[in-house]
Chain A
């Protein structure tokens, strides 16, 4: 019974895992390009983002077809609707990695000041994305909950970086533009953390049926 439907759900899961892997790759690239000041790495980001966009469209139509053909209920309904929501967050992660890549040329190859913890922030954000995909792959609620909890860590990094940058400008007003560019980068990492949190939230919903809501989203401001 229902072999075909199970196969389709299985394929949906595989595709989501692929899209998740692309997200991990794109954000790692953005972080490496920033830290190693490597333009060649930065150039790889835009094509990867297009690949993510393509995957989103592909998974979206799979989900819509499944909703139409199978009229899913219970666990199946949760899995498919969670997938539809997750791909939106994954697609945004791709966009934000690309946004970071666009800022990198303006940093003029400068070495990041040691006391500005943007490397640490990037590392923490990458971990959130990796773990949220991992939580999905393993359907593991404890991993998902850990991702949601670690959003605060990334938020704290953002606040600290912001005050470091404010003092940087205070000490040397000509650093204003550089500081603002770095602040933007930090903000994008912070938003990527939010999307990873959302993904983890949808994993929880898919497994348990419980909805968790993070902070209200302000997607308009980041376009």
Chain B
């Protein structure tokens, strides 16, 4: 199996009194798509956000245990969080392009990381839009406002924006749940393509999506990791009764 890129060991997470993640142990392999599933409020998004420390902004949170990215503690006191977020990008549920041109949306990240040369930025923008499978649709209107794109195009633009800073890992939190079936299937195809270059972790409420695109699936329930393993096996022969009941729609 592929090398582990992100590893949680007895990871606990608290929002004040709320114990949102309980002793999570989970190794995420490189160049795989890992799906996080489970009923609402079970801690999927919390886990995803601990990986690039998006939870840091919330008041009163506490993290204990170990969480490493390429062997180094994500919550080490001397960790450069900007650099971490450059390596571990995120795509959200609702497409959230900035109210600026398509070009500037994609160039935004590289610019904040100090890239100014026009030719260099042009290259990055084109490559990112190509990787996000939206280049052909927007190449003639790069200066147009991104908000004029369809929802599915906006989401692929957000993926391009995330790719522009050359990340290593892409976190996607229900990134297709607001999209129509065609846009959803384009993003799914895209994810399958992107895993050759990146490692992808998705949160999804769509069981069939997890089956279609993920290599491994993690099932969370009430802050605990109940079962984690090969997606095909999990959906044909789950080991835990609770996993079975959830994926077959008997609760949740």
Taking Cβ atoms with an 8 Å cutoff, the residues of A that contact B are 1-2, 5, 71-78, 209
Contact = CB atoms under 8 A, between A and B. Distances in A.
Contacts of A1: 249-251
A5 B249 contact: yes
B42 interface: no
Given A209-B236, A209-B237, A74 B249 contact: no
Contacts of A72: 248
B107 to A, nearest CB: 41
Contacts of A73: 207, 211, 235-236, 247-248
Given A209-B236, A209-B237, A74 B251 contact: no
23 contacts: A1-B249, A1-B250, A2-B248, A5-B249, A71-B207, A71-B208, A72-B248, A73-B235, A73-B236, A73-B247, A74-B236, A74-B237, A74-B238, A74-B243, A74-B247, A74-B248, A76-B248, A77-B235, A77-B236, A78-B236, A78-B237, A209-B236, A209-B237
Nearest to A70: B249
B244 interface: yes
Nearest to A81: B236
A209 B235 CA distance: 11
A69 to B, nearest CB: 12
Contacts of B211: 73
A75 B244 CA distance: 8
Given A73-B248, A74-B237, A74-B243, 20 more contacts: A1-B250, A1-B251, A2-B248, A2-B250, A5-B249, A71-B207, A73-B207, A73-B235, A73-B236, A73-B247, A74-B235, A74-B236, A74-B244, A74-B247, A74-B248, A75-B244, A75-B248, A76-B248, A209-B236, A209-B237
Contacts of B250: 1-2
Most chain A CB inside 10 Å of its own CB: which residue of B243, B248, B251: B248
A98 to B, nearest CB: 36
A1 B247 CA distance: 13
Contacts of A71: 207-208
Nearest to B236: A77
A26 to B, nearest CB: 33
Contacts of B251: 1
Nearest to A209: B237
A74 B211 CA distance: 11
Contacts of A75: 244, 248
A24 to B, nearest CB: 30
Nearest to A208: B237
Nearest to B207: A73
A78 B250 CA distance: 16
B119 to A, nearest CB: 49
A76 B237 CA distance: 10
Contacts of B207: 71, 73
